[in-house]
A and B are shown apart, each in its own frame.
Chain A
């Protein structure tokens, strides 16, 4: 695939901005020219040079074929392999799932915790959701609940809330309200911003109170989580009066003992608002290929991440199959760590490790097998899902590179895997 430096698609968060201008630097490096974004800037810097790095066995450089053979042998002799990290573009994930299915592995993603906070309430009650282009063109009122989601998707508001949209005119500018969080970086002057101070860890109560008000019921106390009832009533009225409201929140950033209760309360509030007007939720999740991994897992196996390929078929067990727990409780005897976008540190593990990871990854001890992989959208192409789960964009390489894709290396390991009796 031909390398692209203009209108490049950014692989480093789930906004998947496709307007990047890149440039080549010395020794095959790639740098962001603009538009500015801290995650993109760091991501391209970390991708480093195009130097071809050798695979390693126990820290010693080896031929690729030897590393692949060793990886296949480790997998073949494992009784309970765990594929974790799973930070790859969609084709890398597809290859990882094929391998996991062949060896009966459990699967987790390094950002699955935030995904589970969304998924479990979703299974309980459902949701009303929307996508980025709807937000951009319809939203006249945006409610941001909890910490500023731009920590996960820095250009979210810049990209999705310009001064006008198809149905948003300058004469009636859109309003953006923060509750339980504050804008952490500057917002464009065209946005009418209000902040309702409230404790971040009490969003479940606040969203519940708003739902009561929307349903026409009175609040039981003069204040909820420190916010006066009258202020909440005013907010509820604003929400009812919106033509098309959108609730933005980042499940992974929510605080408190049970963040999924806050997510459940928000999803319920948005569903209730739709009795009379239109509101949607847009959960801001992703990064490290999370959304694509979640989607591919669902279509290939029928079940979400944090599942295991058992002899009886894929089994979903969101609490039991968290990678940290499996490693801590020694319910996994082999860690297959995949992290292609950035040098994410692998979890502490006393079991053997096969790492298909970013070349800059730092390990506490040398993994049994380390196959450095290229960065998707820098060294090779692929596909990347956006946070809304609807739009997948094509990734193109930004340089001519001999670094291997996770997809290719995983397929090679899979081919080398002797057919093991399951």
Chain B
């Protein structure tokens, strides 16, 4: 039996268990948190964290960290790597990149910020093996991927052939298992396919030129499939019309299109624009907040913009082709992928003196600060699209520190300041709320029952901070991070390299669907189905560990 570890004297913020800043000790055994043993104290080691703030390890549910488009981003921006390189250190590998860090650096930086899990939200199924190869080289954190569906010719043909919902459900379940994914994402539903047929925009009720299928139809079929096969995480939606002024209307209609089935809207900031004002570009945050109040089936993550150089990497070729004119430096890449999806890369520099960028920044903060329920909003920058994830500590300070916010607001483009209601918002997030946004809520949203909290039975992923009034410094430099009960970061240095699990789901489905998909691959694709599928053994042979998360099959209307 391994030795018990006791963290003594910390102030614990554990929203999942209703703990709001109470002084209590944490007891750890075999990588898990155990109940306070009371009077019968076992032999144990002690770490004194008196006066420190304690939370579960943080979880990023939307961060582009691995796979084809990320690697293309690395190739496209040597500048991002030349200026941000570090050598190997002991057994820790070298790496480089600020916006598009290499895999080892990604894992190390997340751990140094107290994050113990991150999820790659846009895996093209054909790119699954590549994505899992990259994750095999991403240390420190637990991980998982969302399979991108909704633009693939296979689904269009199923719909066109009159497939009943059960068949769609089987197809979704099959694809999740075949690609070792935990959730389903749809990016510009129907739009990536439409771009291949030379359509340049696609509204919610606009049919695909070839198939005649609308985004609304795809959304409804997929949202229902995800719910019925019983995934914890709802359909993860990147709406149509990303970045287009006035797109908040599309976003609102998208929420209504799923007819009450659960839905998660990602990087809503980029889908939250009105056309008011003399510049025909305005904040739609109040509309989204209204929708959050009205629809309990809705959750969002923000995709906050922070100022500086980054690389935008998206599955949305249609939008990124349009954005090419904004590229800085001037280069851009779009790719159509395997009759499934695509990707588009555009380097970007967000400037506080640009009206549009400044208003994007303000809109993100408006969303955070006026959202009614911290359990249904998650802290993201859509790394690296709004900013690299390393900006999270500064973002947390913006949410927790009104004076700091006012200081930043004073520096942005004056017209953007006037167009935003941000100056009037007094709200400051509490530590308890930050722990919801970055721990408890994402764990619940993804069905990670033993993560994101500190109750008995939870994995001992624990982050300890100094209670510093400068919240950016505090969240940027935890003094202690434990991964599965082992100290991995101490005083801002990695002291041990951990290897996290790959979280997957295995929803039940009729195996007959495999035959149909196999025929499609044999007749039309350039890979056969057995070679498309990624096996558990492949992940395990590279040192990975599969963690199957629970699904609860259900049927009938929401």
| A contacts, CB < 8 Å to B | 7, 9, 18-19, 90-91, 94, 98, 101-102, 119, 122-134, 136-138, 159-160, 165-167, 243-244, 274, 277-278, 280, 295-296, 298-304, 309-316, 383, 385, 389-394, 419, 422
CB-defined contacts of B101 to chain A, threshold 8 Å: 302
CB-defined contacts of A394 to chain B, threshold 8 Å: 129, 531, 535, 538
Interchain Cβ contacts under 8 Å between A and B, 11 examples:
A122-B333, A125-B331, A126-B324, A130-B337, A133-B527, A138-B336, A159-B526, A280-B336, A299-B133, A310-B87, A390-B338
Taking chain B's interface residues, is the majority helix, strand, or loop, or is none over half, making it mixed?
mixed
Is B153 in contact with chain A by the CB < 8 A criterion? Answer: yes
| B contacts, CB < 8 Å to A | 66, 68, 70-72, 74-78, 80-82, 85-88, 90, 93-97, 100-105, 124, 126-127, 129-130, 133-134, 137, 153, 195-198, 210, 321, 324, 327, 330-339, 345, 524-528, 530-531, 535, 538, 542
Q: How far is the CA of A102 from the CA of B195 in the complex (A)?
A: 45
Q: How far is the CA of A422 from the CA of B88 in the complex (A)?
A: 9
Most buried by A among B78, B94, B198: B94
Residue of A nearest to B92 (CB): A101
- Complex contact A129–B334 (CB within 8 A): yes
Q: Which 8 A-B pairs have the closest CB atoms?
A: A313-B85, A302-B96, A302-B102, A302-B97, A126-B333, A126-B331, A392-B129, A132-B526
Q: How far is the CA of A137 from the CA of B336 in the complex (A)?
A: 12
Q: How far is the CA of A200 from the CA of B7 in the complex (A)?
A: 71
Select which of B76, B90, B94 is within 8 A of A314 by beta carbon.
Answer: B94
CB-defined contacts of B102 to chain A, threshold 8 Å: 298-302, 314
- Complex contact B94–A309 (CB within 8 A): yes
A134-B337, A298-B71, A314-B94 are known contacts. Are A123 and B198 too (CB-CB below 8 A)? no
Q: How far is the CA of A313 from the CA of B124 in the complex (A)?
A: 31
Q: How far is the CB of A40 from chain B (nearest CB, A)?
A: 16
CB-defined contacts of A122 to chain B, threshold 8 Å: 75-76, 331, 333
CB-defined contacts of A126 to chain B, threshold 8 Å: 76, 324, 327, 331-333, 345
CB-defined contacts of A128 to chain B, threshold 8 Å: 333-335
Q: How far is the CA of A129 from the CA of B332 in the complex (A)?
A: 11
CB-defined contacts of A90 to chain B, threshold 8 Å: 133
CB-defined contacts of A295 to chain B, threshold 8 Å: 71, 130
Residue of B nearest to A246 (CB): B336
CB-defined contacts of A19 to chain B, threshold 8 Å: 528
Q: How far is the CA of A390 from the CA of B337 in the complex (A)?
A: 8
- Complex contact A123–B76 (CB within 8 A): yes
Residue of A nearest to B86 (CB): A313
Q: How far is the CA of A166 from the CA of B71 in the complex (A)?
A: 29
- Complex contact B133–A383 (CB within 8 A): yes
Q: How far is the CA of A160 from the CA of B527 in the complex (A)?
A: 11
Beyond the given A303-B78, A393-B527, A394-B531, please list 14 additional residue pairs across the A-B interface where CB-CB is below 8 A.
A90-B133, A122-B331, A125-B331, A130-B335, A134-B336, A134-B339, A138-B196, A278-B197, A298-B75, A300-B102, A309-B94, A391-B338, A393-B129, A422-B87
- Complex contact B526–A160 (CB within 8 A): yes
CB-defined contacts of A299 to chain B, threshold 8 Å: 66, 70-71, 74, 102-103, 133-134, 137
Q: How far is the CA of A168 from the CA of B298 in the complex (A)?
A: 41
Q: How far is the CA of A128 from the CA of B97 in the complex (A)?
A: 24
Residue of B nearest to A127 (CB): B333
- Complex contact B338–A311 (CB within 8 A): no
Q: How far is the CB of A112 from chain B (nearest CB, A)?
A: 13
- Complex contact A313–B71 (CB within 8 A): no
A133-B338, A295-B130, A301-B102 are known contacts. Are A314 and B332 too (CB-CB below 8 A)? no
Q: How far is the CA of A263 from the CA of B134 in the complex (A)?
A: 29
Q: How far is the CB of B215 from chain A (nearest CB, A)?
A: 20
A127-B333, A131-B336, A394-B538 are known contacts. Are A136 and B130 too (CB-CB below 8 A)? no
CB-defined contacts of B195 to chain A, threshold 8 Å: 278
- Complex contact A314–B81 (CB within 8 A): yes
Residue of B nearest to A118 (CB): B75
Q: How far is the CA of A76 from the CA of B218 in the complex (A)?
A: 58
A9-B531, A127-B333, A129-B334 are known contacts. Are A313 and B87 too (CB-CB below 8 A)? yes
- Complex contact B338–A134 (CB within 8 A): yes
- Complex contact B76–A391 (CB within 8 A): no
CB-defined contacts of B75 to chain A, threshold 8 Å: 119, 122-123, 298, 304
Q: How far is the CA of A303 from the CA of B86 in the complex (A)?
A: 12
Q: How far is the CA of A333 from the CA of B277 in the complex (A)?
A: 66
Q: How far is the CA of A389 from the CA of B68 in the complex (A)?
A: 7
Residue of B nearest to A303 (CB): B81
Q: How far is the CA of A128 from the CA of B330 in the complex (A)?
A: 14
Most buried by B among A127, A167, A309: A127
Q: How far is the CA of A129 from the CA of B105 in the complex (A)?
A: 28
Q: How far is the CA of A302 from the CA of B527 in the complex (A)?
A: 28
Q: How far is the CA of A18 from the CA of B134 in the complex (A)?
A: 23
Q: How far is the CA of A418 from the CA of B333 in the complex (A)?
A: 43
- Complex contact A315–B339 (CB within 8 A): no
- Complex contact A137–B137 (CB within 8 A): no
Q: How far is the CB of B175 from chain A (nearest CB, A)?
A: 16
CB-defined contacts of A94 to chain B, threshold 8 Å: 137
Q: How far is the CB of B161 from chain A (nearest CB, A)?
A: 13
Q: How far is the CA of A167 from the CA of B196 in the complex (A)?
A: 11
- Complex contact B129–A312 (CB within 8 A): no
Q: How far is the CA of A272 from the CA of B97 in the complex (A)?
A: 30
CB-defined contacts of B66 to chain A, threshold 8 Å: 299
Residue of B nearest to A97 (CB): B93
A18-B527, A166-B339, A299-B71 are known contacts. Are A390 and B127 too (CB-CB below 8 A)? yes
Q: How far is the CB of A105 from chain B (nearest CB, A)?
A: 11
- Complex contact A133–B525 (CB within 8 A): yes
Select which of A123, A137, A312 is within 8 A of B339 by beta carbon.
Answer: A137
- Complex contact A312–B87 (CB within 8 A): yes
Residue of B nearest to A9 (CB): B531
A9-B531, A280-B336, A389-B68 are known contacts. Are A303 and B96 too (CB-CB below 8 A)? yes
Q: How far is the CA of A122 from the CA of B71 in the complex (A)?
A: 13
A123-B78, A299-B74, A393-B527 are known contacts. Are A314 and B336 too (CB-CB below 8 A)? no
Q: How far is the CA of A11 from the CA of B327 in the complex (A)?
A: 38
Q: How far is the CB of B414 from chain A (nearest CB, A)?
A: 34
Select which of A9, A313, A314, A390 is within 8 A of B68 by beta carbon.
Answer: A390
Q: How far is the CA of A167 from the CA of B209 in the complex (A)?
A: 12
A303-B78, A394-B129 are known contacts. Are A133 and B339 too (CB-CB below 8 A)? yes
CB-defined contacts of B68 to chain A, threshold 8 Å: 389-390
Q: How far is the CB of B7 from chain A (nearest CB, A)?
A: 32
- Complex contact A392–B333 (CB within 8 A): no
Q: How far is the CB of A67 from chain B (nearest CB, A)?
A: 24
Residue of B nearest to A167 (CB): B210
- Complex contact A18–B95 (CB within 8 A): no
- Complex contact B524–A166 (CB within 8 A): yes
Q: How far is the CA of A113 from the CA of B229 in the complex (A)?
A: 49
Q: How far is the CA of A203 from the CA of B134 in the complex (A)?
A: 37
Select which of A138, A311, A316 is within 8 A of B78 by beta carbon.
Answer: A316
Q: How far is the CA of A274 from the CA of B525 in the complex (A)?
A: 24
Residue of A nearest to B332 (CB): A126
- Complex contact A313–B95 (CB within 8 A): yes
Q: How far is the CA of A310 from the CA of B337 in the complex (A)?
A: 35
A128-B333, A274-B321, A312-B85 are known contacts. Are A300 and B93 too (CB-CB below 8 A)? yes
Q: How far is the CB of B40 from chain A (nearest CB, A)?
A: 44
CB-defined contacts of A243 to chain B, threshold 8 Å: 197-198
CB-defined contacts of A391 to chain B, threshold 8 Å: 126-127, 129-130, 338, 526-527
- Complex contact A136–B524 (CB within 8 A): yes
- Complex contact B137–A300 (CB within 8 A): yes
Q: How far is the CB of A339 from chain B (nearest CB, A)?
A: 22
CB-defined contacts of A312 to chain B, threshold 8 Å: 85-87
- Complex contact A302–B95 (CB within 8 A): yes
Q: How far is the CB of A160 from chain B (nearest CB, A)?
A: 7
Residue of B nearest to A381 (CB): B541
- Complex contact A131–B338 (CB within 8 A): yes
Q: How far is the CA of A304 from the CA of B86 in the complex (A)?
A: 16
Q: How far is the CB of A169 from chain B (nearest CB, A)?
A: 12
Q: How far is the CA of A391 from the CA of B126 in the complex (A)?
A: 6
